[in-house]
A and B are shown apart, each in its own frame.
Chain A
Amino acid sequence: MHGVYTVYMTMHSWITISFGDPRPLYLQVIEQVKRRVAVGDLPPGTELPSIRELAAGLKISVITVKRAYLELERDGVIATRQGKGSVVADRPGLQASIQESELRDHLKQAVSLGLLLGKSKTEMQRRIAEIYEQSQKGAK
């Protein structure tokens, strides 16, 4: 029954989990599904493995995959039909909106770190503008 194992491996090979990565596992799953959708590898309507299938395939807990799927559903990336499993949502502008929300998340993270470190709004704006200009110069 070597075949069964191979099927498992290829079925989930589009997601890889890294235990060296400090981010929680469910975030790693979310991020990778989003990225695959954003670049068009998973077109709308693509069936996703069931929660327990993916958990078994990645050898991570069911609760982790469940949480990832719930958040993906809440974000409108996937749609879950009762008893029929989950599919990539069929929604116009999904790819663009994933990229948009990724950008927002990064900015939010920067802002909350700034708040934590007691940086003012003007200081944060100045720093972002600075990095923006540096990156633009670097790109030329």
Chain B
Amino acid sequence: MTMELDSSTGTELAASMVDVSKSYKHFKLRNIHFSVERGTVAGLIGPNGAGKSTTMRILMGLVQPDSGVVSALGKPISSSEAAAKQDIGYFSDDMRLYKPESLGWHMQFVRSLYPAWDDVYATQLLDRFGLISQQIVKGLSHGQRVKAMLLLILARRPKLLILDEPTNGLDPVAKHEILTELMRVVEDDSRTILYSSHNTQDVEQISDSITFIDRGQVIASSNRDEFLDKWKRIKLHAPEGWKTPEVEGLRLETCHRNLHVLSFSQFSDQVPALLQGPGLVIEAVESMTLEEIFVSSVMRGREGSQS
């Protein structure tokens, strides 16, 4: 299989979007730009309604973008590209199983469509997910239904998994079972996972790279550790009337009397010189969680678009 290469790093890309836009009556996806390296887990984080699902549908070829270039597994994606989809597994909560039939019936059905179906793996998944193949879909709980759908996708052994909010509404045990299984998938370094969530914790744990999306735009995209290294919270005591200096990446989060809490997105072992001076006392420089970084990024993006 021919693979697309990232022009800056030379790594193989499993999926990429370049300047992808799509307009609806009440929603616009603007210049979506991100890529997923082969053998990695990429997390797409955004609030509800940010455009995560639309982005994933475009990547699957289920929605045609107005402009931009989309490719997956080294091939351009268009709605007619059925061959590439043999190697892509797509999960979305909108997908429905056939209610009167059993899980086993569905397994036979998917097996007949996908030559790569792995019976041994499917049986292992049944066991690890605590599912029974004779169970009728109608009687499944939400968690069981999600696991059943993931089983049907995983057992095809797709090269690229595109999972839209797979852990949404799951109890901690079901979530644990699913994250465990996803990490097993990427033990094989030729497999890639892109998944979305509005829950930063799920994504933080297993993702190699993270893309934040809000109001139809990518607001930040980088490898996970870079996010966590570069973002710091600085607590600073400053004299009355002190104004937050205009430093790129510096933002005032809260201020109480003379205690200023700033977030800084460009930290590199050094506090900006502007934060050192007479009357200024730095109380603490703290790490931020991905959730705090996400919220701060979103707020910065929204402030920027207003001005």
Chain A residues engaging chain B, CB cutoff 8 angstroms: 1-2, 4-5, 19, 22-24, 26, 52-53, 55-56, 59-64, 67, 116-118
Residue of B nearest to A4 (CB): B124
Q: Is the CB of B285 closer than 8 A to any CB of chain A?
A: yes
Given contacts A22-B287, A55-B186, A116-B271, contact A61 B224 (CB under 8 A): yes
> Are the C-beta atoms of B187 and A56 separated by less than 8 Å?
yes
A55 to B283 CA separation, bound complex (whole angstroms): 36
> Are the C-beta atoms of B128 and A53 separated by less than 8 Å?
no
A4 to B271 CA separation, bound complex (whole angstroms): 48
With both chains docked as a complex, state the minimum distance between the C-beta of A117 and any C-beta of chain B, in angstroms.
7
**Which A residues are CB-close (under 8 A) to B180?**
56, 59
Chain B residues engaging chain A, CB cutoff 8 angstroms: 39-41, 123-124, 127-128, 176, 179-180, 183-184, 186-189, 201, 205-209, 223-225, 228-229, 271, 281-283, 285-287
A118 to B281 CA separation, bound complex (whole angstroms): 8
Given contacts A22-B287, A55-B186, A56-B184, contact A63 B225 (CB under 8 A): yes
> Are the C-beta atoms of B206 and A59 separated by less than 8 Å?
yes
A125 to B281 CA separation, bound complex (whole angstroms): 21
> Are the C-beta atoms of B282 and A64 separated by less than 8 Å?
no
Given contacts A5-B128, A53-B187, contact A62 B208 (CB under 8 A): yes
With both chains docked as a complex, state the minimum distance between the C-beta of B293 and any C-beta of chain A, in angstroms.
13
**Which B residues are CB-close (under 8 A) to A5?**
128
Residue of B nearest to A116 (CB): B282
Give which listed residue, B183, B208, B228, B285, contacts A56 with CB less than 8 A: B183
> Are the C-beta atoms of A52 and B189 separated by less than 8 Å?
yes
Given contacts A55-B183, A62-B39, contact A117 B282 (CB under 8 A): yes
A5 to B130 CA separation, bound complex (whole angstroms): 14
**Which A residues are CB-close (under 8 A) to B188?**
52
Given contacts A67-B225, A117-B281, contact A60 B205 (CB under 8 A): yes
Further 7 A-B residue pairs, CB within 8 A, beyond A1-B123, A59-B205, A116-B285: A52-B186, A59-B176, A59-B206, A60-B206, A62-B186, A67-B225, A116-B282
